Amino acid sequence: MPFDPVTRPLTPHEARVLATLMEKARTVPDSYPMSLNGLVTGCNQKTSRDPVMNLSDAEAQEALDSLKLLTLAFESSGNRTTRWEHNFQRGVGVPEQSAVLLGLLMLRGPQTAGELRINAERWYRFADISSVEAFLDELQERSAEKGGPLVAQLPRAPGAREQRWAHLMCGPVDTSASAPAPGSSSGGGNASAALQARVEMLEGQVAALQATVQRLCAELGV
């Protein structure tokens, strides 16, 4: 049976570890599957993360062990260093587009459909906001036989132009605590999301270069 967040919701640490694996698989494929050290660094990024966390190696390993039992992550063989991969789409039973949206929501917190489309640029290119909304609606209307809804649309905050969406991978959300600060607007949010997407792209390029250098050093025995 597909993953059911009602019966066994993820912990915040498990959600962060899982979503980081999902992100790096798409944005930095040269460093994927991931080592524990690289995974902890990704989990604790100061950008593109809400909330910002400070996971220890032990906490990340504990989350990986739990995700393995849930068949949402597994160890990759053939390396001297243990590396990890996610199994999100099969484990949860959703298509790639839905997995991308859930991964972004787990990493960045509640977002509007417009923000999700911008933030997904390096993960998957959605044709338009309508296509994002269609997959969100599908996740919200997911039947009990498939494990139940995986996202929820939050009440419109005062002054906000668009409603935001939140994931349910960690169980029901507290809508009263999820409203943005008064005076915020979707326009400002979209601009911020675009800037974060640019920063994330640069971080990905740096990570790819680091992975290339590490591979060359290993080949040369340095």
Which two tokens mark 161? 């132009």
Residues 6+ apart with CB under 8 A from 202: none
Q: What is the CATH number of the domain that holds 118?
A: 1.10.10.10
221 is a domain residue:
no
Q: What tens-digit pLDDT sequence spans the chain (222 residues)?
A: 778 898 999 999 999 999 999 999 999 999 999 999 999 999 999 999 999 999 999 999 999 999 999 999 999 876 678 999 999 999 999 999 999 999 999 999 999 999 999 999 999 999 999 999 999 999 999 999 888 999 999 998 888 889 999 999 999 997 665 555 444 444 455 555 555 555 665 666 566 566 566 666 555 665
Of 111, 142, 143, whose CA–CA distance to 129 is shortest?
111
Cβ-based burial of 214 (10 A; exposed 0-12, middle 13-18, buried ≥19): middle
56 is a domain residue:
yes
82 is a domain residue:
yes
Determine the structural domain holding residue 119 and report its residue range: 12-173+182-216
- How many domains does the chain fold into? 1
2 is a domain residue:
no
Q: How many CB atoms lie within 10 A of CB 101?
A: 29
pLDDT tens digit sequence for 66-122: 999 999 999 987 667 899 999 999 999 999 999 999 999 999 999 999 999 999 999
Of 172, 133, 131, whose CA–CA distance to 150 is shortest?
172
pTM over 0.85: no
Please answer whether residues 118 and 193 qualify as being in contact, where contact means their C-beta atoms are separated by less than 8 angstroms.
yes
Question: What is the distance between the alpha carbons of residues 166 and 140, in angstroms, rounded to a whole number?
Answer: 10
Which two tokens mark 49? 């993360």
24 is a domain residue:
yes
222 is a domain residue:
no
Question: What is the distance between the alpha carbons of residues 220 and 29, in angstroms, rounded to a whole number?
Answer: 22
5 is a domain residue:
no
77 is a domain residue:
yes
Q: What is the pLDDT of residue 186?
A: 46
